[in-house]
Homo-oligomer: A and B are copies of this chain.
Amino acid sequence: MANSKYEYVKSFEQPDVLLPNTWIVVRIDGRGFHKLSDYYGFIKPNDRRALDLMNAAAVGVMKDLPDLCIAYGISDEYSFAFHPNCQLFERRSAKLVTTIVSTFTAHYIYLWGTYFPDTPLQPAALPSFDGRAVMYPNSRIFRDYMSWRQVDCHINNLYNTTFWSMVLQGGMDRREAELELKGTLSSDKNEILFKRFGINYNNEEEIYKKGSVLYRQYQLEEKSDSSMQEETSPLQEDMPSKTQQEKIRKLRRKVQVVVDHVDIIKDEFWERRPWILSGKPGKLPTEAKEVVA
């Protein structure tokens, strides 16, 4: 067969299977969004349309990939998490990352017109995203990752809210504002906002302060101290077979994906939604109570 002469080049492909039984987080970031947000005239410090578009694209990803159990987004970045029991694409890193990046991009471009009806995309400045996969060996560290992102959301949003108030309302020069904010504490920024601009930061919208968390909506559990004690690392005998995986995927596709703006640092979020850390489906809700995408 003529092809065999060249087929040896396949042997240069190197395996990239991620370690079994670890959390996999794929974080994607907008490429050059600083410039891009200027180009398309995003509102500062937060453009609600842009965030809603990010969330809508992320919901699209969650729906297309039922193996995903939670996602968290701030600004132009989104983190998508697979449970340690995930076997999708045999856990091949490049396959997982590129699938998420591409699916996200597809939805983002497709939905652009819905969120920016008056600002058509230009072919020379199409939004795009890069991404990477990171493994976390247990739920505690995975939660620390999620907390890290939400703390970052808070820090960045407080800074940006103050900075843009100083510039847009206070008429300050950007460099001037930057200089004044250098080294300030949270309390300083809160005070600037309140005293100079009459803004109580606590009253800012939750989506800006907390970011957006996406998950499948099963029935919420009563808060209980014991629920976090369960071992969340899956036993080998609980690892789903290929057929079971397909079944679980089908079930998950039917569960609604929720976009929430709540604290994910404290235990309560996780205790009331034990299916996220356990990787096992919860009970279907009798009625959906929250904003559902």
Seen from chain A, the residues whose Cβ lies within 8 Å of a Cβ on chain B are 2-3, 5-17, 19-22, 28, 31, 60, 64, 84, 93-95, 97-99, 101-111, 121, 123, 126-138, 140-141, 144-145, 147-148, 151-152, 155, 186, 231, 233, 235-236, 239
Q: Specify which of B21, B121, B132, B148 is in contact with A95 (CB 8 Å cutoff).
A: B132
* C-alpha spacing A239/B236, complex, angstroms: 29
Q: Is the CB of A19 within 8 A of B22?
A: yes
Q: Specify which of B12, B128, B131, B148 is in contact with A141 (CB 8 Å cutoff).
A: B12
Q: In this complex, what residue of B is CB-closest to A121?
A: B110
Beyond A9-B148, A13-B132, A105-B105, list 6 extra A-B contacts (CB 8 Å): A6-B148, A14-B134, A21-B141, A101-B102, A102-B130, A110-B121
Which residues on B sit within 8 Å (CB–CB) of A60? 123, 126
Check A138/B136 contact, CB under 8 A, given A97-B94, A126-B110, A145-B9.
Answer: no
* C-alpha spacing A64/B32, complex, angstroms: 12
Q: How many copies does the complex hold?
A: 4
Which residues on B sit within 8 Å (CB–CB) of A107? 123, 126
* C-alpha spacing A99/B32, complex, angstroms: 11
A–B pairs, 10, beta carbons within 8 Å? A2-B151, A8-B144, A14-B134, A20-B137, A95-B130, A98-B132, A101-B101, A102-B102, A106-B108, A140-B233
Min CB distance A257 to B, Å, is 14
Q: Specify which of B109, B110, B129, B152 is in contact with A98 (CB 8 Å cutoff).
A: B129
Q: Specify which of B111, B132, B138 is in contact with A138 (CB 8 Å cutoff).
A: B138
Which residues on B sit within 8 Å (CB–CB) of A103? 126, 128
Q: Is the CB of A155 within 8 A of B31?
A: no
Specify which of A127, A137, A138, A233 lies most central, judged by the most chain B CB atoms within 10 Å of its CB: A137
Q: Specify which of B16, B84, B132, B151 is in contact with A6 (CB 8 Å cutoff).
A: B151
Check A19/B12 contact, CB under 8 A, given A110-B109, A128-B106.
Answer: yes
* C-alpha spacing A3/B231, complex, angstroms: 24
Min CB distance A8 to B, Å, is 5
Q: Is the CB of A28 within 8 A of B233?
A: no
Q: Is the CB of B131 within 8 A of A98?
A: yes
Which residues on B sit within 8 Å (CB–CB) of A19? 12, 14, 19, 22, 135, 137
Q: Is the CB of B148 within 8 A of A3?
A: yes
* C-alpha spacing A10/B145, complex, angstroms: 8
Which residues on B sit within 8 Å (CB–CB) of A231? 140
Min CB distance A293 to B, Å, is 12
* C-alpha spacing A98/B7, complex, angstroms: 25
Min CB distance A43 to B, Å, is 22
